[in-house]
Chains A and B, each alone.
Chain A
Amino acid sequence: MQSVLVADDELNMRILLKATLEELEDMGVELLTAGNGKEALKIINTKRPQLVILDVTMPGMNGFEVCNTVKNILGMKNIYILMLSAEAQEADKQKGKEVGADIYMTKPFQPEELLERVVDVLGIEMQKI
């Protein structure tokens, strides 16, 4: 079963992201959530989601560290990491690239665009967008 992890310390953001991606559940994709970096890492380790939507600014372990651990330390290169950050500066995007993120999107985001991108990564045939 395919799964997507949404990691964000802000509850409302997790709700919004779940709402944005809710159509995926109809297609059998499990939507997982994590409220911080460590939790995210734990879920990644156990559930091995195909895609992680990762916030940058999180308490404890931030998004860059999680990404670096997954991609470089644990070597899970096949997990697609989509950084979704309010940090919109060039340097932040550069940092994302350095730690191995596959795509960097900034908040606010266009819900349709995000959904489109996720669907694209999962390789799902969408009936309606």
Chain B
Amino acid sequence: MKATKMMESGDSRHPIMIDKDKLKDLGESINVAMNKSKELDTFSVHSVGKEEMTLLRLKKSRDEWVNTFDAITDITTIHDEEFRIVRANKAFLEKFNVDKKQLNGEKYYELFYDTDKPGSHCMLEKCKKSLKPECEEVDDPNMGGIFLISTYPLLDEKGVFYGAIQQVRDITERKKTEEEIRKAKEFSENLVETAHDAIVCIDEDGRVIVWNHSAEKIFGYSRSEIMGQPITTIIPERYRKKHLEGLKRFIQTDQTKIIGKKIEASGKTKEGKEIPIELSLSFQKTVNDRYSFMGIIRDITFEKEAKRQLIEKSNELEYYSRTLEQKVEGRTRELKKANIKLKEQDNMKTEFLSIVSHELRTPLALVLGFAGIIDKRFKDVISPHVKTDDDKVQRSLSEVQQDLGTIILEGKRLTRLIDELLDITKIEAGKIEWNMESISMDEIIKQPIAVTRSSFKQNKLEMIEDIEGALPLVIGDKDRLKQVVINLISNAIKFTDRGSVTCSARKLENEIMISVIDTGIGIAETNQGKVFEKFKQAGDNHTGRSNGTGLGLSICKQIVEHHGGRIWVESKPGEGSNFSFTLPISLSPEITRRNGGSNGYGVNSREISVL
């Protein structure tokens, strides 16, 4: 404006007073014109006439218009009344890859549809008829997309149609995006609708804006009833104030205690029933910078009830468990008491037996002792002095001696019985002290053989020793094991009239087997299992050999089993018996062999002990 004024001021001779920038509003065209007037050394306002100025302005306007026209991204064409393309913008030329010259006043339908008439949906045609702007979306496979076509009629001063401007906007992408958004929305709406949990959204004012099917089911309010209603409708009265305060605080301060967490709360149904709910809250900001809140609500009545029942059951269980524990404790106490009592009784039994054994020993010692004295005096003193031919006297003398022998024999048996009874009682009560050491087979076999040698001679039996060479050591109580072997040999002698008794020892895989084999009367199969039982003597009934105590084999079994071995009998009546027992082979044969047990006692003299 300033420039114009100065130009109009008539100060024609004055060179240009304003810099070129100030003339920018005249556009680039002036510059062009200025460049073209290079022949003028001085450029003065005066030198540019009014007409030229108008021309320059026109040119500038035209350039502006052309630039604008080409700058429009929509395909834009100007048509004459016959719909010929009078002008097309750059977007058009690029889109259809044609040259400006090619257009050459072609009608668009000739150009694109190769027909001589406009199509039935021709927008230009419509526009020509209505003389109003027309707008339509067209899905044009020919052009390969969806287009928004806007047509503006060009009317002269009299309102006569002389052409139209058509703008075609490719909205394929937009449509696609819109479709995607629509689908996403539909999907999320479906999601909300079909969710098993209630999904409820409220706006900043606490009014319901989303209410899904599950919300309807849980709270009983239909969507139409609740939409726009305050959310407090479904909050029990006593919690409403707290809710409102929380909402207000969040909006003001962005501070919250519950958003993003899962909390347990109470809801109120349309019927007025209070229900336990689990609530997850989230929020978002809408385009207009307002909050909206979404709550996912689950009715946990069932879970609560289940939990309550579980706790109840658990408590019940705990109660029963405690009661049971108490009962068990009580029972354990009783059992312990009973056990103590049993042990006491067991001790008493052992005690009793040892007292009895002691009390029996003294009179027995007298009976046996005097019987021995009498026997000796009878033999040494009386018998040689009785000189008579009276058969009766002779028979009596002989009978007295026999009877004395019986007294001594039975007295000895009674002594053994007492010893063994005490033994087995103590073994069974675990009162025996086992003197375990590493021992050789020779020790537990040879000595018993030596001890019983006189009995072999007496009974005219052959003694066969069959001990394998280089037998490994075993761990055991030497004296007790000798007791076993003596017992077995004594039994064999007792029940064998002629033939032999074989004592063998051989190595099996992990054990040593010791056998005492006789050629005696044997044991019937039915009795074989019983011989190791207390007070059972297989031979008693039919042989009258009653010199045993009925405890010997039972003690043997106890001793062998204490060593981890087995004892058994194989026998055929009339052919003989084979009593065998095993002893596990010592795993540590290097165990130092102690020289004689500190409380060991002589083999045949349970009653003697060299101290």
- Interface of chain B, helix or strand or loop or mixed? helix
| In contact, A113 and B361 (Cβ under 8 angstroms) | no
Interface residue A12 (Cβ < 8 Å from any Cβ of B): yes
Contact with B along A94-117 (1 / 0, CB 8 A): 101100011111111111110001
| CB contact under 8 A between A88 and B608, given known A12-B366, A107-B361, A107-B365 | no
B601 contact set on A, CB distance < 8 A: 93
B464 contact set on A, CB distance < 8 A: none
* Residue among A20, A93, A103, A108 making CB contact with B415, cutoff 8 Å: A108
A89 contact set on B, CB distance < 8 A: 354, 422
| CB contact under 8 A between A103 and B362, given known A16-B370, A89-B354 | no
Tell me the bound Cα distance from A107 to B419 in angstroms.
11
| In contact, A108 and B411 (Cβ under 8 angstroms) | yes
| In contact, A113 and B611 (Cβ under 8 angstroms) | no
B606 contact set on A, CB distance < 8 A: 88, 106
Interface residue A25 (Cβ < 8 Å from any Cβ of B): no
In the complex, residue of chain B having the shortest beta-carbon distance to the beta carbon of A100: B611
Of residues B357, B605, B609, which shows the largest number of chain A Cβ atoms within 10 Å of its Cβ? B609
Tell me the bound Cα distance from A13 to B607 in angstroms.
16
A103 contact set on B, CB distance < 8 A: 608-611
| In contact, B607 and A20 (Cβ under 8 angstroms) | no
Interface residue A39 (Cβ < 8 Å from any Cβ of B): no
Within 8 A of A (CB), among B357-395: 357-359, 361-362, 364-370, 372-373, 376
B433 contact set on A, CB distance < 8 A: 90
B361 contact set on A, CB distance < 8 A: 86, 88, 106-108
Interface residue A124 (Cβ < 8 Å from any Cβ of B): no
Contact with A along B569-611 (1 / 0, CB 8 A): 0000000000000000000000000000001010001111111
| In contact, A106 and B607 (Cβ under 8 angstroms) | yes
In the complex, residue of chain A having the shortest beta-carbon distance to the beta carbon of B364: A108
Report B210 CB to chain A, min CB distance, Å: 95
| In contact, B608 and A105 (Cβ under 8 angstroms) | yes
In the complex, residue of chain B having the shortest beta-carbon distance to the beta carbon of A8: B362
B354 contact set on A, CB distance < 8 A: 89
Report A63 CB to chain B, min CB distance, Å: 13
* Residue among A86, A90, A109 making CB contact with B369, cutoff 8 Å: A109
Number of B residues, CB within 8 Å of A? 31
| In contact, A88 and B422 (Cβ under 8 angstroms) | yes
A17 contact set on B, CB distance < 8 A: 369
| CB contact under 8 A between A108 and B369, given known A87-B358, A94-B599 | yes
B373 contact set on A, CB distance < 8 A: 16, 19-20, 111
Tell me the bound Cα distance from A110 to B372 in angstroms.
8
* Residue among A16, A94, A113 making CB contact with B608, cutoff 8 Å: A113
Of residues A13, A90, A112, which shows the largest number of chain B Cβ atoms within 10 Å of its Cβ? A90
B359 contact set on A, CB distance < 8 A: 86
| In contact, A108 and B365 (Cβ under 8 angstroms) | yes
In the complex, residue of chain B having the shortest beta-carbon distance to the beta carbon of A108: B365
* Residue among B376, B422, B599, B607 making CB contact with A108, cutoff 8 Å: B607
Within 8 A of A (CB), among B379-438: 411-412, 415, 419, 422, 433
A113 contact set on B, CB distance < 8 A: 605, 608
| CB contact under 8 A between A13 and B362, given known A93-B599, A111-B369 | yes
Tell me the bound Cα distance from A108 to B407 in angstroms.
13
Report B332 CB to chain A, min CB distance, Å: 33
| In contact, B599 and A96 (Cβ under 8 angstroms) | no
| CB contact under 8 A between A86 and B362, given known A108-B368, A111-B372, A111-B373 | yes
A108 contact set on B, CB distance < 8 A: 361, 364-365, 367-369, 411-412, 415, 607
* Residue among A13, A94, A96, A97 making CB contact with B365, cutoff 8 Å: A13
Contact with B along A52-94 (1 / 0, CB 8 A): 0000010000000000000000000000000000111110011
| In contact, A86 and B415 (Cβ under 8 angstroms) | no
A12 contact set on B, CB distance < 8 A: 366
Report B262 CB to chain A, min CB distance, Å: 77
Tell me the bound Cα distance from A92 to B137 in angstroms.
126
A57 contact set on B, CB distance < 8 A: 358
Tell me the bound Cα distance from A17 to B372 in angstroms.
12
| In contact, B611 and A90 (Cβ under 8 angstroms) | no
Report B347 CB to chain A, min CB distance, Å: 14
Report B183 CB to chain A, min CB distance, Å: 101
| In contact, B365 and A105 (Cβ under 8 angstroms) | no
| CB contact under 8 A between A107 and B364, given known A88-B357, A90-B599 | yes
B357 contact set on A, CB distance < 8 A: 86, 88
| In contact, A13 and B608 (Cβ under 8 angstroms) | no
Tell me the bound Cα distance from A20 to B434 in angstroms.
36
- Rank and list the top 4 A-B pairs by shortest CB-CB distance, nearest first: A107-B365, A86-B361, A108-B365, A106-B607
Chain B interfacial positions (CB closer than 8 Å to A): 354, 357-359, 361-362, 364-370, 372-373, 376, 411-412, 415, 419, 422, 433, 599, 601, 605-611
> Can you name 16 extra interface pairs (CB under 8 A) apart from A16-B370, A86-B357?
A12-B366, A16-B365, A16-B373, A19-B370, A20-B373, A88-B361, A90-B433, A90-B599, A96-B609, A103-B610, A104-B608, A107-B361, A108-B361, A108-B367, A111-B372, A111-B373
